[in-house]
Amino acid sequence: VVQLNAEALSALAYTQVIRKGAPAIYGHYLSTVSMKSGAPMAGTPEISLMNFLIGQMARFYDVPWRTSGGLGGAKTFDAQAGYESAATLSAVIHAGANYIWHAAGWNEAGMHCSVAKFIVDAEQCAMAYRMAEGPRWDDFDEALAAVRDVGPGGHYLGHPHTQENFQRAFFMPEMFDNNSIEQWKAEGEIEITERALKQARKLLSEYEEPKLDAAKNEALLDYIARREREIPAADALNQEF
Protein backbone atom coordinates (compact mmCIF):
# COMPACT_ATOMS: atom_id res chain seq x y z
CA VAL A 1 0.00 0.00 0.00
CA VAL A 2 2.91 2.35 0.76
CA GLN A 3 4.39 1.68 -2.67
CA LEU A 4 1.05 2.12 -4.42
CA ASN A 5 0.46 5.38 -2.58
CA ALA A 6 3.89 6.71 -3.56
CA GLU A 7 3.33 5.78 -7.21
CA ALA A 8 -0.14 7.34 -7.31
CA LEU A 9 1.01 10.56 -5.63
CA SER A 10 3.98 10.91 -7.97
CA ALA A 11 1.62 10.65 -10.94
CA LEU A 12 -0.77 13.17 -9.41
CA ALA A 13 2.11 15.57 -8.73
CA TYR A 14 3.40 15.15 -12.29
CA THR A 15 0.03 16.11 -13.78
CA GLN A 16 0.08 19.33 -11.75
CA VAL A 17 3.62 20.13 -12.85
CA ILE A 18 2.57 19.76 -16.49
CA ARG A 19 -0.79 21.52 -16.08
CA LYS A 20 -1.59 23.07 -12.74
CA GLY A 21 -5.19 22.50 -11.71
CA ALA A 22 -5.77 19.68 -14.21
CA PRO A 23 -8.40 17.19 -12.97
CA ALA A 24 -6.77 13.99 -11.76
CA ILE A 25 -7.76 10.71 -10.16
CA TYR A 26 -5.99 8.61 -7.54
CA GLY A 27 -5.61 5.21 -9.20
CA HIS A 28 -3.94 1.87 -8.83
CA TYR A 29 -4.10 -1.79 -9.69
CA LEU A 30 -3.10 -4.47 -7.22
CA SER A 31 -3.10 -8.23 -6.92
CA THR A 32 -1.66 -10.90 -4.69
CA VAL A 33 0.72 -13.67 -5.71
CA SER A 34 0.59 -17.35 -4.87
CA MET A 35 3.40 -18.25 -2.51
CA LYS A 36 3.28 -21.78 -3.94
CA SER A 37 3.70 -21.02 -7.62
CA GLY A 38 4.27 -17.29 -8.06
CA ALA A 39 1.09 -17.07 -10.14
CA PRO A 40 -1.06 -13.93 -9.80
CA MET A 41 -4.11 -14.34 -7.61
CA ALA A 42 -7.35 -12.41 -7.39
CA GLY A 43 -10.19 -12.50 -4.93
CA THR A 44 -8.08 -12.99 -1.81
CA PRO A 45 -8.86 -11.19 1.49
CA GLU A 46 -5.60 -9.23 1.31
CA ILE A 47 -6.75 -7.46 -1.86
CA SER A 48 -9.85 -6.25 -0.06
CA LEU A 49 -7.84 -5.21 3.01
CA MET A 50 -5.49 -3.16 0.83
CA ASN A 51 -8.42 -1.53 -0.94
CA PHE A 52 -9.89 -0.48 2.40
CA LEU A 53 -6.58 1.20 3.25
CA ILE A 54 -6.19 2.81 -0.17
CA GLY A 55 -9.74 4.13 -0.03
CA GLN A 56 -8.89 5.90 3.20
CA MET A 57 -5.78 7.42 1.62
CA ALA A 58 -7.80 8.76 -1.33
CA ARG A 59 -10.22 10.43 1.07
CA PHE A 60 -7.29 11.81 3.07
CA TYR A 61 -5.96 13.52 -0.09
CA ASP A 62 -9.51 14.46 -1.11
CA VAL A 63 -9.25 13.10 -4.66
CA PRO A 64 -11.50 10.65 -6.53
CA TRP A 65 -10.32 7.05 -6.47
CA ARG A 66 -10.04 4.53 -9.29
CA THR A 67 -9.67 0.84 -8.45
CA SER A 68 -10.60 -2.65 -9.65
CA GLY A 69 -13.44 -4.92 -8.53
CA GLY A 70 -15.11 -8.14 -9.61
CA LEU A 71 -11.77 -9.95 -9.72
CA GLY A 72 -11.18 -13.70 -9.62
CA GLY A 73 -8.74 -16.46 -10.36
CA ALA A 74 -11.21 -19.17 -11.45
CA LYS A 75 -10.73 -20.78 -14.85
CA THR A 76 -14.44 -21.13 -15.60
CA PHE A 77 -17.63 -19.37 -14.63
CA ASP A 78 -18.12 -21.46 -11.51
CA ALA A 79 -18.75 -20.98 -7.78
CA GLN A 80 -15.16 -19.82 -7.21
CA ALA A 81 -15.59 -17.12 -9.85
CA GLY A 82 -18.77 -15.88 -8.20
CA TYR A 83 -17.41 -15.91 -4.66
CA GLU A 84 -14.17 -14.11 -5.51
CA SER A 85 -15.77 -11.48 -7.71
CA ALA A 86 -18.54 -10.73 -5.23
CA ALA A 87 -16.03 -10.37 -2.41
CA THR A 88 -13.73 -7.97 -4.26
CA LEU A 89 -16.56 -5.90 -5.73
CA SER A 90 -18.26 -5.58 -2.36
CA ALA A 91 -14.99 -4.48 -0.75
CA VAL A 92 -14.33 -1.60 -3.15
CA ILE A 93 -17.96 -0.46 -2.96
CA HIS A 94 -17.74 -0.35 0.84
CA ALA A 95 -14.31 1.29 0.64
CA GLY A 96 -15.83 4.20 -1.30
CA ALA A 97 -14.42 3.74 -4.81
CA ASN A 98 -15.51 6.34 -7.35
CA TYR A 99 -14.46 4.56 -10.54
CA ILE A 100 -14.17 0.78 -10.85
CA TRP A 101 -12.49 -1.05 -13.73
CA HIS A 102 -12.12 -4.78 -14.37
CA ALA A 103 -15.57 -5.36 -12.93
CA ALA A 104 -17.09 -7.71 -15.53
CA GLY A 105 -16.04 -10.99 -17.12
CA TRP A 106 -12.73 -11.25 -15.25
CA ASN A 107 -11.35 -14.78 -14.88
CA GLU A 108 -7.97 -16.47 -14.43
CA ALA A 109 -6.60 -13.33 -12.75
CA GLY A 110 -7.32 -11.35 -15.89
CA MET A 111 -5.90 -13.82 -18.41
CA HIS A 112 -9.23 -14.28 -20.13
CA CYS A 113 -12.77 -12.89 -20.20
CA SER A 114 -15.84 -15.08 -19.77
CA VAL A 115 -18.78 -13.85 -21.85
CA ALA A 116 -21.31 -15.55 -19.56
CA LYS A 117 -19.64 -14.11 -16.48
CA PHE A 118 -19.54 -10.67 -18.10
CA ILE A 119 -23.33 -10.66 -18.48
CA VAL A 120 -23.90 -11.74 -14.87
CA ASP A 121 -21.20 -9.42 -13.53
CA ALA A 122 -22.93 -6.49 -15.24
CA GLU A 123 -26.05 -7.26 -13.24
CA GLN A 124 -23.94 -7.66 -10.09
CA CYS A 125 -22.48 -4.21 -10.77
CA ALA A 126 -26.00 -2.79 -11.05
CA MET A 127 -26.85 -4.31 -7.67
CA ALA A 128 -23.64 -2.93 -6.17
CA TYR A 129 -24.49 0.52 -7.52
CA ARG A 130 -27.94 0.28 -5.96
CA MET A 131 -26.42 -0.66 -2.62
CA ALA A 132 -23.98 2.25 -2.83
CA GLU A 133 -26.92 4.65 -3.29
CA GLY A 134 -28.05 3.82 0.24
CA PRO A 135 -31.61 3.80 1.58
CA ARG A 136 -34.16 5.97 -0.20
CA TRP A 137 -36.09 8.36 2.00
CA ASP A 138 -38.10 10.31 -0.55
CA ASP A 139 -41.30 8.32 0.12
CA PHE A 140 -40.79 7.85 3.87
CA ASP A 141 -43.94 9.70 4.92
CA GLU A 142 -46.06 7.81 2.39
CA ALA A 143 -44.60 4.51 3.61
CA LEU A 144 -45.50 5.32 7.22
CA ALA A 145 -49.01 6.25 6.12
CA ALA A 146 -49.29 2.84 4.44
CA VAL A 147 -48.38 1.14 7.74
CA ARG A 148 -51.27 2.94 9.41
CA ASP A 149 -53.61 2.12 6.53
CA VAL A 150 -52.88 -1.61 6.53
CA GLY A 151 -52.98 -2.08 10.30
CA PRO A 152 -52.56 -5.31 12.26
CA GLY A 153 -53.23 -8.52 10.37
CA GLY A 154 -53.23 -6.91 6.94
CA HIS A 155 -50.76 -7.06 4.05
CA TYR A 156 -49.20 -4.52 1.74
CA LEU A 157 -49.33 -6.24 -1.64
CA GLY A 158 -52.51 -4.50 -2.75
CA HIS A 159 -51.86 -1.13 -1.14
CA PRO A 160 -51.47 1.83 -3.54
CA HIS A 161 -48.04 2.68 -2.11
CA THR A 162 -46.83 -0.83 -2.92
CA GLN A 163 -48.33 -0.72 -6.41
CA GLU A 164 -46.61 2.58 -7.12
CA ASN A 165 -43.18 1.65 -5.75
CA PHE A 166 -42.73 -2.11 -6.09
CA GLN A 167 -40.53 -1.87 -9.19
CA ARG A 168 -37.94 0.17 -7.35
CA ALA A 169 -38.50 -1.09 -3.80
CA PHE A 170 -36.26 -4.12 -4.35
CA PHE A 171 -33.78 -4.72 -7.13
CA MET A 172 -35.30 -7.24 -9.54
CA PRO A 173 -32.50 -9.18 -11.25
CA GLU A 174 -32.91 -10.80 -14.63
CA MET A 175 -29.97 -13.21 -14.56
CA PHE A 176 -30.29 -14.34 -10.94
CA ASP A 177 -33.24 -16.69 -10.48
CA ASN A 178 -35.39 -16.13 -7.40
CA ASN A 179 -38.40 -18.23 -8.38
CA SER A 180 -39.53 -21.31 -6.47
CA ILE A 181 -37.76 -24.54 -7.35
CA GLU A 182 -41.04 -25.84 -8.79
CA GLN A 183 -41.25 -22.93 -11.20
CA TRP A 184 -37.56 -23.23 -12.05
CA LYS A 185 -38.05 -26.91 -12.93
CA ALA A 186 -41.17 -26.16 -14.95
CA GLU A 187 -39.22 -23.62 -17.00
CA GLY A 188 -36.52 -26.13 -17.92
CA GLU A 189 -34.07 -26.05 -14.99
CA ILE A 190 -31.89 -23.53 -16.82
CA GLU A 191 -28.75 -22.66 -14.86
CA ILE A 192 -27.19 -19.23 -14.80
CA THR A 193 -24.41 -19.89 -17.35
CA GLU A 194 -26.93 -20.93 -19.98
CA ARG A 195 -29.17 -17.97 -19.16
CA ALA A 196 -26.23 -15.59 -19.45
CA LEU A 197 -25.06 -16.97 -22.80
CA LYS A 198 -28.60 -16.77 -24.14
CA GLN A 199 -28.74 -13.12 -23.10
CA ALA A 200 -25.33 -12.45 -24.69
CA ARG A 201 -26.47 -13.94 -28.02
CA LYS A 202 -29.65 -11.87 -27.85
CA LEU A 203 -27.69 -8.66 -27.28
CA LEU A 204 -25.36 -9.46 -30.18
CA SER A 205 -28.23 -10.28 -32.54
CA GLU A 206 -30.00 -7.02 -31.70
CA TYR A 207 -26.91 -4.80 -31.77
CA GLU A 208 -27.01 -1.83 -34.10
CA GLU A 209 -23.80 0.05 -34.73
CA PRO A 210 -24.16 3.70 -33.72
CA LYS A 211 -24.05 5.79 -36.88
CA LEU A 212 -21.54 8.63 -37.07
CA ASP A 213 -22.51 11.69 -39.03
CA ALA A 214 -20.85 11.42 -42.43
CA ALA A 215 -19.52 14.98 -42.31
CA LYS A 216 -17.97 14.43 -38.86
CA ASN A 217 -16.43 11.15 -40.00
CA GLU A 218 -14.90 12.84 -43.04
CA ALA A 219 -13.55 15.67 -40.88
CA LEU A 220 -11.96 13.20 -38.45
CA LEU A 221 -10.32 11.22 -41.25
CA ASP A 222 -9.03 14.46 -42.77
CA TYR A 223 -7.59 15.50 -39.40
CA ILE A 224 -5.83 12.14 -39.00
CA ALA A 225 -4.33 12.37 -42.47
CA ARG A 226 -3.20 15.97 -41.90
CA ARG A 227 -1.53 15.16 -38.59
CA GLU A 228 0.23 12.17 -40.15
CA ARG A 229 1.73 14.58 -42.69
CA GLU A 230 2.61 17.24 -40.13
CA ILE A 231 4.10 15.10 -37.36
CA PRO A 232 7.66 13.94 -38.20
CA ALA A 233 8.27 10.22 -38.45
CA ALA A 234 9.88 8.49 -35.47
CA ASP A 235 13.13 7.89 -37.39
CA ALA A 236 13.41 11.59 -38.24
CA LEU A 237 12.84 12.55 -34.60
CA ASN A 238 15.51 10.13 -33.42
CA GLN A 239 18.01 11.52 -35.92
CA GLU A 240 17.16 15.07 -34.86
CA PHE A 241 17.80 14.33 -31.18
Q: Which amino acid is at 222?
A: D
pLDDT at residue 231, rounded to an integer: 84
pLDDT at residue 237, rounded to an integer: 52
Q: What value does the mean pLDDT take over residues 2-21?
A: 93
Q: What value does the mean pLDDT take over residues 85-95?
A: 94
Q: What value does the mean pLDDT take over residues 101-128?
A: 92
CA atoms 14, 17, 19, 22: torsion sign: positive
pLDDT at residue 233, rounded to an integer: 67
C-alpha–C-alpha distance, residues 81 and 114, integer Å: 10
pLDDT at residue 32, rounded to an integer: 84
Q: pTM to 2 decimals?
A: 0.80
pLDDT at residue 236, rounded to an integer: 59
Parse the chain into domains and list their residue ranges: 2-134+173-240
User: pLDDT band for position 230 (50/70/90)?
Assistant: confident
3-state secondary structure of 114: coil
Q: How far is CA 87 from CA 44, 94, 187, 208, in A?
A: 8, 11, 30, 35
Least confident interval from 15-29, 59-73, 151-165, 222-236: 222-236
C-alpha–C-alpha distance, residues 190 and 114, integer Å: 18
CA atoms 41, 45, 46, 50: torsion sign: positive
| CATH entry, 2-134+173-240, from 3.20.20.60, 3.10.105.10, 3.20.20.480, 1.25.40.10 | 3.20.20.480
Q: Identify whether the C-beta of residue 89 lies closer than 8 Å to the C-beta of residue 47.
A: no
What are the pLDDT digits (tens) for 12-60? 999 999 999 999 999 988 888 888 888 888 888 999 999 999 999 999 9
pLDDT at residue 28, rounded to an integer: 87
pLDDT at residue 60, rounded to an integer: 95
